[in-house]
Copies of this chain bind each other. A is one copy, B any other.
């Protein structure tokens, strides 16, 4: 069976350019963006980087470390790009919307955040939220709850996005067709048992995820405003 020491001659040549943690993370991001969450396998990485397992594991602890690093990359990018001028309310909308857009563009980030919240990157996000709530005159006593609530909401939307994206990748149908199918399913439900769902079929078909997300943010902001006077 020519154990391992049948080396003799033909080892495949080593790479000349050097590997690096950053290169690995960047390549992983490309794979994730291209093929969804479960397209990222160590095997796929070795193929794409034309290397072996050892080389990768030399720069990266394990797969979850890799995923976490890629996720941190995306989030810090969002935070650094978000404008800091305007009213607190505007900044808060821009900040959360920036996160929404980023997760919309990279759905795997949403899935990863659901697995490992409270990454350092999210702590920065949390900090920003807290400060903005301070600027919005939310009393210190309730600021903790309010910030947590907002983060949880954003995270919930992120997870939804990730789930939808996962459901679509590999399918031949696009988002519109999927919504049509779901709307049709909802329309067939018993109107006596599901009056509300039945009534919202139209809005389901032509709603905009982004606008609905913002509507939620606005509801939250309105709710927050009431805390000032308590």
A114-B163, A123-B197 given; name 17 further pairs at CB < 8 Å. Answer: A111-B114, A115-B163, A117-B159, A126-B196, A127-B194, A127-B196, A131-B195, A144-B203, A144-B212, A146-B215, A148-B212, A149-B219, A152-B160, A153-B156, A153-B216, A156-B157, A223-B224
- Chain B: minimal CB distance from A229 (Å): 11
**Complex A-B, nearest 9 residue pairs according to Cβ-Cβ distance, in ascending order:** A156-B156, A130-B196, A223-B223, A149-B216, A219-B223, A152-B156, A222-B223, A145-B215, A144-B203
A207 at the interface (CB under 8 A from B): yes
- Chain B: minimal CB distance from A108 (Å): 13
Is A127 a contact of B219 with CB atoms below 8 Å? Answer: no
Is B114 a contact of A148 with CB atoms below 8 Å? Answer: no
What CA separation (Å) do A149 and B207 show in the bound complex? 13
With A123-B197, A163-B116: A215-B153 Cβ-Cβ less than 8 Å: no
Cβ proximity bits A203-219 to B, threshold 8 Å, 1 near / 0 not = 11001000010011011
Is B114 a contact of A200 with CB atoms below 8 Å? Answer: no
A142 at the interface (CB under 8 A from B): yes
A89 at the interface (CB under 8 A from B): no
A59 at the interface (CB under 8 A from B): no
Is B160 a contact of A117 with CB atoms below 8 Å? Answer: yes
Among A148, A182, A221, which residue has the most Cβ atoms of chain B within 10 A?
A148
With A114-B159, A222-B222: A200-B149 Cβ-Cβ less than 8 Å: no
Cβ proximity bits A144-169 to B, threshold 8 Å, 1 near / 0 not = 11111101111111011011001000
Is B219 a contact of A227 with CB atoms below 8 Å? Answer: yes
A57 at the interface (CB under 8 A from B): no
Is A145 a contact of B114 with CB atoms below 8 Å? Answer: no
A22 contact set on B, CB distance < 8 A? none
Cβ proximity bits A24-40 to B, threshold 8 Å, 1 near / 0 not = 00000000000000000
A152 contact set on B, CB distance < 8 A? 153, 156-157, 160, 216
